[in-house]
Amino acid sequence: MHHEQQLPLDLFGEPPIPTPPPAETPPHAQTPRTKQPLPPISAEALTRDAQRRLKELARTEARIATLIPRIRVIWYHRLQNSAGRAHFQDSRIELNPRLATLSDPSEIERTLLHELAHLLSWHRSITKADGTPLSRPRKIDAHGPEWRQACTDLGIPNEPRCHTLELAPRRKVKPKYAFICPHCKEHLLRVRPLARHSACAPCCKRHNKGKFDARYEFVPIPLQDALHTLALRENGM
């Protein structure tokens, strides 16, 4: 039988991973989490850059004026492989600090404009020409014609829809600990040791109404053995 290598992540006895709050401060005001180089352009400068672009458009399109003061750009460490992300509700643009490691520095600007085009097309879809909100916002596709028009307006007419850049892959964290469920023989690889009395969630769910049961408590095993078994399973053996 072929086992999925996907391991149960919801363990009992483990505190839930807290949802990261949005980064409120630019990265250079925070303790860097990794040894990434600091972005060469500050988030404030990028915010001003985005606002300057919109001001030019606002000269012929009144409704853009209400968007300008709301725009905020931040460098956001927790983005995985997307170069950037736009949040419509608070007009926030998050940029991946790893953009700064790319050989072509214009990628930062391009990503900024890509995300700004999302905010611009969204803003146009929810406001009347004078900037007041539409009672019924128009539905638009994320990368549909409205977004493409916004890209053209912002000077990047040939922007591709996909904004996952070829960023250098994140260093894969190697597991240091291995555990096995004595019941279903599911393996668990971990970078850090398990909290005491962590049990196999699927087994507790299946056999004990989802409550902790010592019979399904993970047992530590040698890492090499676990890696070997998982490699065999992956190959269908």
By beta-carbon proximity to Zn ion, the closer residue of 119 and 203 is 203
Supply the minimum distance, in Å, between the C-beta of residue 107 and Zn ion: 14
Q: How many residues bind Zn ion (CB under 5 A)?
A: 7
Q: At what angle do helices 43-58 and 106-126 cross, to 10 degrees?
A: 50
CA distances from 27 to 5, 51, 86, 96, 159 (A): 36, 21, 18, 11, 27
Q: Is 87 in the site for Zn ion (CB under 5 A)?
A: no
Q: At what angle do helices 106-126 and 145-153 cross, to 10 degrees?
A: 120
Supply the minimum distance, in Å, between the C-beta of residue 143 and Zn ion: 6
By beta-carbon proximity to Zn ion, the closer residue of 64 and 200 is 200
Figure out which of the listed residues 140, 184, 189, 194 binds Zn ion, where binding follows CB under 5 A.
184
Q: Is 46 in the site for Zn ion (CB under 5 A)?
A: no
Are 68 and 48 in contact by the 8 Å Cβ rule? The answer is no
Give the binding range for Zn ion (CB under 5 A) out of 31-39, 96-104, 128-136, 176-184.
176-184
- Cα dihedral 70→76→79→81 (10° resolution): 100
Binding mask 192-221 for Zn ion (x = CB under 5 A): --------x--x------------------
C-alpha 164 chain-centroid distance? 11
Rg (CA), the chain: 24
Residues interacting with Zn ion, by CB under 5 A? 163, 181, 183-184, 186, 200, 203
